[in-house]
Amino acid sequence: MRILDKYSIKNFMPPAIYCLVSFIFMYMIIDLFGHLDEILRNKVAAGILAQYYYLLLPIIFVQVIPVVILLATIYVFSDMNKHNEITAMKSAGVSIIKIVMPFLVVGISVSLAVMLINEMAVPKANIETTRIKQTYIEHIKGGQEKNSVIDDVAVYGEGNRLFYIKEFEVSKRRLNEIIILEHDSLNNPVSKIIAKTGRWKHNAWVFYNCIIYRLKKNGELIG
């Protein structure tokens, strides 16, 4: 890595981190105040809230990081232009492509990280935060819980799999009427799995009464 690239990335990181922390903090504050009445009414423990917002972090991250990267990049280029650094680089024979290259590399790296987080962390985080929200935060008077059944859930999970769940019984950690569409690396359909129910056991979902269909690239059944 060239000295100029290191210098650009060094200038980029502080505003990016500042924006990221600020957006995450604001997101949590807005969400907290949005549920404050329910939290106070149901006396939700601080430990439960801490667990809820910890699990919410990957969801918040993938939502705010594009804006964070954009704002940090604009800030860095504005600051460099203000101090005539871009003019000096161009005068030294550095092309515009080489000036923006480190920012492109950072952007691509962050995009890959977001893809991994979306596939590996966000689906589980969605399920767990929904369970905590339904079980501990959204109670009704008399100590009874609201209906903890979520209808029509669609989640993109690991291994290029798209999950469609007709019903998700949050408190029981039970899925009903599941359809799983599996795709290859080129996003062509490979298989379709239909399961009657699913249970959360040993940190994984176990499906029951399954039927597996193999698919052609056009989506037709094989055989």
List the chain domain ranges.
3-122, 147-223
Burial of 81 per CB tally in 10 Å (0-12, 13-18, 19+): exposed
Read off the pLDDT of residues 87-120 as tens digits, 9 standing for 90 and up. 888 888 888 888 889 999 999 999 999 988 988 8
Report pLDDT digits (tens) over 82-96: 888 888 888 888 888
CB 158 within 8 A of CB 170: no
Could you give the 3-state DSSP secondary structure of residue 213? Answer: strand
| Separation CA 74–CA 186 (nearest Å) | 34
Q: What is the mean pLDDT of residues 175-195?
A: 88
Distance CA 24, CA 16 (A): 12
The mean-pLDDT minimum among 54-58, 67-71, 178-182, 203-207 falls in 203-207
Chain-wide mean pLDDT for the chain?
A: 86
Structure confidence at residue 142 (pLDDT):
38
Positive or negative torsion for Cα 37, 25, 45, 145: positive
Calculate helix-pair angle for 122-132, 46-82, nearest 10 degrees: 130
Whether the CB-CB separation of 132 and 51 falls below 8 Å is answered with yes
pLDDT of residue 21: 96
Instruction: Give the pLDDT confidence score for residue 152 in this predicted structure.
Output: 82
